[in-house]
C-alpha cells in the first residue's frame, strides 16, 4: 500500500478539563493508620472460618477451665454394672467399659490436652525463637553451631524421641514431663523458619539505616528485625499447638503417655481399643473431641497465615 | 463473530481508499476488580499505528501504559478485563477474540518482549530449549532439525555470537543484556507484524541499553516490523520512536509526532514531563546556559508536595552552580585515599570490588560517584558509612581517620554522617510509624526529651514538605517519593554534615525524582550539607552534582567538575556513558 494515502498523524491534545492535573505525589492518608497487623485483622474479621475456629477455641478453653459448668457427673465414679451402656438415664453419651460416664470424661479430659498443647507450644516457640533469632541474626559460628544443633534434634522424629523419653521416665509421667518430651524435639522447625526469615529481613535497608544511626545490634534485632520476621512463626505455632495435642494422644494411646489415672482423651481412646467392634462409640466420641480441638487450631492457623501473607490474600 | 466485525471494519476504516492502520485502538477501557470495587486503569485510549512505524507510550508508574500493551495481546493480569472499546489488528477486532484465536495471534502476528530479562527466562531450562519452544508454539518450523536451525538463526539475528554453542547454555550464564537479546529474538522468532516491547531495557545499564535499543531498531527496520514500546523515559521514547503517546492516569493526554511533542508540548502534564526529564534538561542546559531561567530559581522554594507548577530542573541546576563556588575554599569534608575492598568469594578466590579509589569532597558541595552496576560505587558508600570495613586505604571524615575510631567516637561520628538508600520500599521499617522512624536517631543518641523530640519530628516533616499528620501513620500508606522524603527526614534528624545518597532517586518516577532532587538542593543550601551522590544515571548528575567521579570495575577512571565531564570528557568510557543517556542526541529547538 502506498504510504501517501496515510493521513498525517495529528498532534492530539486531550482537553484539560477531561484530564485534570493532580498535584505531584500528593499525600493521601485518610481513615485509620494501617500496618501489617491492622490489615491482617481487617482481613481476618471478614472470614467466617476465623469466627468459627475462634468460637470453638474459646469454648474449649472454657471447658478446660471450668469443667463442672458442663457436667456434674464425677468422671471417676465408675460402676462396672453400667459397663458399655448406651445413653439415657442422665447420661448424655453413655458409659465406657469401666462404667464411667463418657461425656464427663471427655469434658474433664479437655484440660489435659489443652495444657499439653499450650506448654509444648510455649516451649517450642521460646526455644525456636531464641535459637532461630540468634542463628539468623548473628550468623557466623553462632549460626553454624546452633543450626547443626537444630539439625541433630530435627533428624530425630519428635514422636519417636518422646516415646523413648517417656518410656525411660515412665515413673515421672505427668503433663509436664510429656510436654517437655514433645517440646524438646519439636523446636527446630520453628527455629529454621525464623532463621530464614531473619536472614531476609536483616539485609533490608531499614536495618542498614538503623546501623548507620548507631543503634546497637541487640536493639536492632528486637526493634526492627524480629517484629518483621515473626509472622510465619505465629502461623507455625498455631499449627504446632494442634500437633502437640495429637502427640499427647498418640503417646497415651501407645501406653507411654500419661498415667492411666490422669484423665486424657488419649488414655480413653487407648482403653477403648478392645471395644472397637462391639462399642465403637467409646473410642469414636473422645476421638471426635480430639479432632474438633485440633481442627479448630489448624483452621485458625490457616486463617492467620492467609492474613499475614499478602500474596496468599491476593490469590483468594 | 470476528469475520463480521472484520467485514464492517474494513469498510469503516477505509472510506476513501486510505491505508488501513496495522493497529487501531479505539476508546479502549480496562477495568480491574479490587476489594474496594472496580478501578478503571485505562480509560478511553485511542492509538493508531501504521505499518513500519514505531510508537512509544510514555507515562509514570500507574498511568496505564503497560495495561494498554497487555490488553492488546490479552495478557491482562488477574482481575483485569477489557470493559469497552475495540482493538483492531489489521481491521480485525481482537479485543473479543477467544483464547484459541488469541493464541494464534500472539507470537505469530504480535510479538512481545517483556520487561525484566532476569525473571522471564526459566532458569531450569537451557536457552535453546526455550527458544525452540517458542518457535514450535508458533508453528514456524516442525521437525527437530528445522526448529533447531531456526533457533540458531533467531539468536544470530538477535546479535548473539556463536549461537549454536549458546543454545546449550542456561540463563544464569547470560548477562542481563544477553538475556534481553534472547527475549527479543523470541519475540521476533515468528516474524510478527507488530512487536510490543514493555520497558525492554529499564533493568539494564545505560550503555547496554543503548546497544540493545540500537539493535532492536535496526532489526525491526530490516524486517519491516512495526514497533510499539513502552517506557517511562521521555528522552528515550522521543529518540527511538516516530510517534509518541503520553498517558496520565489511564488517559491519553497528548499524542503525535515525537519531536513536535517535545518541542511544543501542549498539555500541562506533558509540559511538566518535558521540564522534569533529566536527560532532556541536561541537553537544554547547554543550549540556554545563561538563560533567564536562572532568575526564577529562587521562587521555586515553595512546597513541592502541593505545587502544581512545572518543576524546572534547569533552574535548580543554575541555582546550584552559584552556591557552590564559595564552599571550595574550606577544607574538604571527606578525604578518601587509596581505598580498596577485596571480597573473598568461596571457591573462586578474591574479588576486588573497590580498587585504590581516591577522591575528596569539599564541604557543602555534592560529589557524584557514577558507574554501572558492579562498578563498586555502593561499596565505597558502605565503607564510608562504616557499614563495611575497608581492606586497605584511608577514609578521613572531618580530618579523622575512620579506621582509628573507638566505639564511642564512631557512635558520635554516625550522628554527623547519614545515609539515604535506594529502595523506598525497603528503607523504612513497615511496622514502625513515621514519627517513631524519624525520631529513632534522636532516641538512640539521647537527644532532648519526648516533647522536644516530637517538635523536632514536626520540624523535619516540614522540611521535607510532608504534612505533620503523618506522624502516627505507617509507611505502607505512602508512595515511593514520600517514603524517600521520610528517609531523608530521618537522615537529617541529627543535623548531620554529610549525607550519603545511594541511588536515592533512581527508583522514582521522573516528576517525583525532580521534586526530590530539588528538595535535596534546597536542603543543601539551607543546612550547608555535603552530599556523596551515588548513581548510575549521568543525566541526574548534571543537575545535582558539583564534582563527578566516574567508576568502572572498582576504579575511578575520570574525576573532574561536572561541567568538565559533560563538556569535555577525556576517557572513552565516560564518552560512552554520556552518549548512552537516552535523548542525548536529540536536537531540541530551545
* pLDDT tens-digit map of B27-43: 999 998 877 778 888 98
Asked if residue B478 and residue B333 are part of one domain, the reply reads no
Is B117 a residue whose pLDDT tops 50?
Answer: yes
Query: Looking at the partner chain, which of A27, A37, A212 has a beta carbon nearest the beta carbon of B467?
Result: A27
Asked if residue B491 and residue B387 are part of one domain, the reply reads no
Q: B-chain residues within 8 Å CB-CB of A234?
A: none
Place of cell 552518549: B579
**In B, residues 93-122, which contact A (CB 8 Å cutoff)?**
none
pLDDT per position as a tens digit, B141-168: 788 888 998 889 888 888 787 888 888 8
User: Mean pLDDT, chain B, as a whole number?
Assistant: 83
- Best interface-test mutation with A: which of B242, B310, B474 has the largest number of A CBs within 10 A? B474
In the sheet that holds B37-49, the strands lie side by side as: B37-49, B23-34, B80-89, B92-93
pLDDT per position as a tens digit, B475-493: 888 888 889 999 999 999 9
Q: Return the C-alpha torsion angle A303, A304, A305, A306, nearest 10.
A: 50
Q: Could you give the CA distance from residue B271 to residue B263 in angstroms, rounded to a whole number?
A: 10
Question: Which pLDDT value is given to residue B295?
Answer: 34
With contact defined as beta carbons under 8 Å apart, do B554 and B355 qualify?
yes
- What residues contact B7, with CB distance under 8 A and at least 6 apart? none
The percent of residues in chain A predicted with pLDDT above 90, rounded, is 28
Name the closest residue on chain B to residue A9, using Cα atoms. B256
Q: Could you give the CA distance from residue A77 to residue A100 in angstroms, rounded to a whole number?
A: 6
Last residue of a domain, one of B495, B511, B546: B495
Asked if residue B380 and residue B299 are part of one domain, the reply reads yes
Domain boundaries, chain A: 46-72+94-315
Query: Looking at the partner chain, which of B19, B243, B252 has a beta carbon nearest the beta carbon of A14?
Result: B252
Asked if residue B391 and residue B513 are part of one domain, the reply reads yes
Q: B-chain residues within 8 Å CB-CB of A215?
A: 440, 444
Distance from CA of B511 to the nearest CA of A (A): 7
Last residue of a domain, one of B450, B474, B495: B495
Mean pLDDT of B322-344: 78
User: Mean pLDDT, chain A, as a whole number?
Assistant: 85
Largest CA distance in chain A: 108
3 state DSSP class of B386: coil
Mean pLDDT of B38-51: 89
Residue B488 forms part of a structural domain: yes
Is B4 a residue whose pLDDT tops 80?
Answer: no
Of the CATH numbers 1.10.3720.10, 3.30.70.260, 3.30.470.30, 1.20.1070.10, which one belongs to the domain with range A46-72+94-315?
Answer: 1.10.3720.10
Distance from CA of B112 to the nearest CA of A (A): 25
- Best interface-test mutation with B: which of A8, A20, A29, A40 has the largest number of B CBs within 10 A? A29
pLDDT per position as a tens digit, B350-375: 888 899 999 999 988 899 999 888 88
How many domains in chain B? 3
How many other CB atoms are found less than 10 A from the CB of residue B18?
12
Question: Which pLDDT value is given to residue A196?
Answer: 93
Least confident of A102-111, A159-168, B151-160, B282-291: B282-291
Asked if residue B504 and residue B472 are part of one domain, the reply reads no
Q: For residue B156, what is its C-alpha cell?
A: 544470530
Asked if residue B459 and residue B403 are part of one domain, the reply reads no
Asked if residue B307 and residue B213 are part of one domain, the reply reads no
Is B540 a residue whose pLDDT tops 80?
Answer: yes
Who wins on pLDDT, A168 or A8? A168
Partner A contacted by B61 (CB < 8 A)? no
Asked if residue B268 and residue B194 are part of one domain, the reply reads yes
3 state DSSP class of B390: coil
Q: Could you give the CA distance from residue A165 to residue A163 in angstroms, rounded to a whole number?
A: 6
- pTM summary value: 0.80
Question: Which pLDDT value is given to residue B310?
Answer: 55
Distance from CA of B193 to the nearest CA of A (A): 15
Asked if residue B286 and residue B274 are part of one domain, the reply reads no
Name the closest residue on chain B to residue A7, using Cα atoms. B18
Question: Which pLDDT value is given to residue B311?
Answer: 60
With contact defined as beta carbons under 8 Å apart, do A258 and A249 qualify?
no
Who wins on pLDDT, B34 or B63? B63
3 state DSSP class of B367: strand
Name the closest residue on chain B to residue A43, using Cα atoms. B35
Is B284 a residue whose pLDDT tops 50?
Answer: no
Q: Could you give the CA distance from residue B508 to residue B520 in angstroms, rounded to a whole number?
A: 14
Asked if residue B217 and residue B83 are part of one domain, the reply reads yes
Least confident of A259-263, A296-300, B304-308: B304-308
Q: For residue A272, what is its C-alpha cell?
A: 477403648
- What residues contact A178, with CB distance under 8 A and at least 6 apart? A116, A162, A166, A248, A251, A257, A258
Residue B171 forms part of a structural domain: no
| CATH code of B523's domain | 3.40.50.300
pLDDT band at B556 (very low <50, low <70, confident <90, very high): very high
Q: Could you give the CA distance from residue B483 to residue A25 in angstroms, rounded to a whole number?
A: 11
Question: Which pLDDT value is given to residue A146?
Answer: 92
Residue B490 forms part of a structural domain: yes
User: What range does the domain containing B320 cover?
Assistant: 281-416+500-584
Test B19 with A2 for CB contact under 8 angstroms.
Answer: yes
Distance from CA of B310 to the nearest CA of A (A): 10
Asked if residue B391 and residue B489 are part of one domain, the reply reads no
- Best interface-test mutation with B: which of A4, A5, A10, A12 has the largest number of B CBs within 10 A? A12
Report ipTM (2 d.p.): 0.78
Residue B238 forms part of a structural domain: yes
Residue B12 forms part of a structural domain: yes
Asked if residue B93 and residue B22 are part of one domain, the reply reads yes
Mean pLDDT of B246-263: 90
pLDDT band at B550 (very low <50, low <70, confident <90, very high): very high
Last residue of a domain, one of B278, B296, B325: B278
Backbone angles phi, psi at B226, to 5 degrees: -80, 135
Residue B290 forms part of a structural domain: yes
Is B410 a residue whose pLDDT tops 50?
Answer: yes
Q: Distances in Å between the alpha carbon of B170 and those of A164, A220, B122, B125, B128? A: 49, 40, 9, 6, 8
Q: A-chain residues within 8 Å CB-CB of B305?
A: 23-27
Least confident of A86-90, A228-232, B235-239, B562-566: A86-90
- Best interface-test mutation with A: which of B55, B265, B431 has the largest number of A CBs within 10 A? B431
Amino acid at each position: 500500500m502506498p504510504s501517501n494515502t496515510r493521513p498525517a498523524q495529528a498532534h492530539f491534545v486531550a482537553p484539560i478539563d477531561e484530564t485534570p492535573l493532580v498535584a505531584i505525589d500528593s499525600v493521601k492518608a485518610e481513615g485509620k493508620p494501617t500496618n501489617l497487623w491492622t490489615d491482617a485483622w481487617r482481613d481476618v474479621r471478614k472470614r467466617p472460618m476465623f469466627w468459627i475456629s475462634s468460637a470453638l477455641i474459646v469454648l474449649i478453653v472454657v471447658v478446660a477451665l471450668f469443667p463442672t459448668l458442663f457436667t456434674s457427673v464425677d468422671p471417676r465414679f465408675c460402676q462396672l454394672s453400667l459397663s458399655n451402656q448406651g445413653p439415657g438415664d442422665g447420661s448424655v453419651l453413655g458409659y465406657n467399659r469401666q462404667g464411667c460416664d463418657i461425656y464427663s470424661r471427655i469434658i474433664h479430659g479437655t484440660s489435659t490436652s489443652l495444657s499439653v498443647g499450650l506448654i509444648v507450644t510455649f516451649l517450642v516457640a521460646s526455644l525456636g525463637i531464641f535459637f532461630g533469632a540468634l542463628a539468623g541474626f548473628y550468623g557466623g559460628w553462632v549460626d553454624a553451631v546452633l543450626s547443626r544443633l537444630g539439625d541433630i534434634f530435627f533428624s530425630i522424629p519428635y514422636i519417636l524421641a518422646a516415646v523413648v523419653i517417656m518410656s525411660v521416665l515412665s515413673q515421672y509421667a505427668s503433663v509436664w514431663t510429656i510436654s517437655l518430651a514433645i517440646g524438646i524435639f519439636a523446636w527446630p522447625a520453628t527455629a529454621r523458619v525464623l532463621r530464614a526469615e531473619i536472614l531476609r529481613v536483616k539485609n533490608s535497608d531499614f536495618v542498614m539505616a538503623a546501623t548507620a544511626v548507631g543503634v546497637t545490634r541487640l536493639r536492632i534485632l528486637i526493634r526492627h528485625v524480629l517484629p518483621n520476621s515473626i509472622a510465619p512463626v505465629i502461623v507455625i505455632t498455631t499449627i504446632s499447638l494442634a500437633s502437640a495435642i495429637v502427640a499427647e494422644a498418640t503417646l497415651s494411646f501407645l501406653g507411654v503417655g500419661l498415667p492411666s489415672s490422669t484423665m486424657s482423651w488419649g488414655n480413653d481412646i487407648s482403653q477403648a481399643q478392645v471395644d472397637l467392634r462391639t462399642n465403637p462409640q467409646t473410642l469414636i466420641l473422645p476421638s471426635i473431641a480430639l479432632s474438633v480441638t485440633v481442627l479448630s487450631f489448624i483452621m485458625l492457623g490457616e486463617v492467620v497465615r492467609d492474613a499475614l501473607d499478602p500474596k496468599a490474600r491476593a490469590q483468594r | 463473530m470476528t469475520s463480521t466485525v472484520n467485514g464492517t471494519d474494513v469498510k469503516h476504516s477505509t472510506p476513501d481508499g486510505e491505508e488501513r492502520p496495522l493497529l487501531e485502538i479505539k476508546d479502549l477501557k480496562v477495568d480491574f476488580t479490587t476489594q474496594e470495587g472496580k478501578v478503571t486503569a485505562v480509560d478511553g485510549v485511542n492509538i493508531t499505528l501504521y505499518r513500519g512505524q514505531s510508537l512509544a507510550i510514555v507515562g509514570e508508574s500507574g498511568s496505564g501504559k503497560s495495561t494498554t500493551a497487555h490488553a492488546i495481546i490479552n495478557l491482562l493480569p488477574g482481575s483485569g478485563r477489557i470493559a469497552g472499546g475495540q482493538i483492531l489488528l489489521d481491521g480485525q477486532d481482537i479485543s473479543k477474540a477467544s483464547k484459541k484465536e488469541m493464541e494464534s495471534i500472539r507470537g505469530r502476528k504480535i510479538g512481545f518482549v517483556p520487561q525484566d530479562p532476569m525473571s522471564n527466562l526459566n532458569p531450569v531450562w537451557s536457552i535453546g530449549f526455550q527458544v525452540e519452544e517458542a518457535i514450535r508454539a508458533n508453528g514456524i518450523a516442525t521437525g527437530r532439525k528445522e526448529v533447531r536451525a531456526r533457533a540458531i538463526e533467531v539468536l544470530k539475528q538477535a546479535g548473539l555470537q556463536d549461537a549454536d554453542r549458546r543454545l546449550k547454555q542456561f540463563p544464569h550464564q547470560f548477562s542481563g543484556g544477553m538475556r534481553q537479546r534472547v527475549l527479543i529474538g523470541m519475540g521476533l522468532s515468528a516474524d510478527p507484524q507488530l512487536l510490543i516491547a514493555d520497558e525492554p531495557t529499564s533493568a539494564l545499564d545505560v550503555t547496554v541499553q543503548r546497544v540493545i535499543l540500537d539493535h532492536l531498531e535496526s532489526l525491526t527496520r530490516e524486517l519491516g516490523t512495526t514497533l510499539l514500546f513502552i517506557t517511562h523515559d521521555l528522552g528515550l521514547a522521543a529518540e527511538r520512536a516516530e510517534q509518541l503517546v503520553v498517558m496520565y492516569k489511564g488517559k491519553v493526554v497528548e499524542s503525535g509526532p515525537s519531536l513536535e511533542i517535545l518541542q511544543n508540548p501542549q498539555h500541562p502534564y506533558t509540559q511538566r514531563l518535558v521540564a522534569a526529564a533529566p536527560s532532556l534538561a541536561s541537553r537544554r542546559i547547554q543550549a540556554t546556559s545563561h538563560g533567564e531561567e536562572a532568575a526564577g530559581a529562587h521562587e521555586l522554594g515553595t512546597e513541592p508536595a502541593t505545587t502544581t507548577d512545572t518543576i524546572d530542573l534547569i533552574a535548580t541546576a543554575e541555582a546550584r552552580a552559584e552556591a557552590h563556588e564559595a564552599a571550595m575554599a574550606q577544607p574538604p569534608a571527606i578525604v578518601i585515599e587509596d581505598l580498596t575492598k577485596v571480597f573473598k568469594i568461596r571457591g573462586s578466590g578474591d574479588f576486588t570490588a573497590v580498587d585504590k579509589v581516591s577522591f575528596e569532597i569539599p564541604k557543602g558541595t555534592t560529589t557524584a560517584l557514577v558507574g554501572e552496576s558492579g562498578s563498586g560505587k555502593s561499596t565505597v558508600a558502605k565503607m564510608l558509612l562504616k557499614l563495611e570495613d575497608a581492606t586497605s586505604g584511608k577514609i578521613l571524615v572531618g580530618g579523622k581517620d575512620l579506621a582509628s575510631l573507638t566505639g564511642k567516637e564512631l557512635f558520635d561520628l554516625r550522628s554527623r554522617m547519614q545515609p539515604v538508600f535506594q529502595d523506598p520500599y525497603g528503607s523504612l521499617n513497615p511496622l514502625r510509624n513515621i514519627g517513631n522512624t524519624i525520631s529513632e536517631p534522636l532516641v538512640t543518641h539521647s537527644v532532648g526529651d519526648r516533647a522536644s523530640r516530637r517538635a523536632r519530628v514536626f520540624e523535619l516533616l516540614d522540611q521535607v514538605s510532608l504534612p505533620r499528620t503523618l506522624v502516627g501513620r505507617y509507611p505502607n500508606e505512602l508512595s515511593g517519593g514520600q517514603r524517600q522524603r521520610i528517609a531523608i527526614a530521618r537522615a537529617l534528624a541529627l543535623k548531620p554534615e554529610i549525607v550519603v545518597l545511594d541511588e536515592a532517586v533512581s527508583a522514582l518516577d521522573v516528576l517525583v525524582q525532580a521534586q526530590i532532587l530539588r528538595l535535596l538542593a534546597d536542603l543543601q543550601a539551607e543546612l550547608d550539607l555535603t552530599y556523596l551522590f551515588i548513581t548510575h544515571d549521568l543525566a541526574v548528575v548534571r543537575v545535582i552534582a558539583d564534582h563527578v567521579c566516574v567508576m568502572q570495575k572498582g576504579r575511578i577512571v575520570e574525576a573532574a567538575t561536572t561541567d568538565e565531564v559533560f563538556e569535555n570528557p577525556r576517557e572513552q568510557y565516560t564518552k560512552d556513558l554520556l552518549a548512552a543517556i537516552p535523548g542525548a542526541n536529540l536536537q531540541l529547538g530551545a
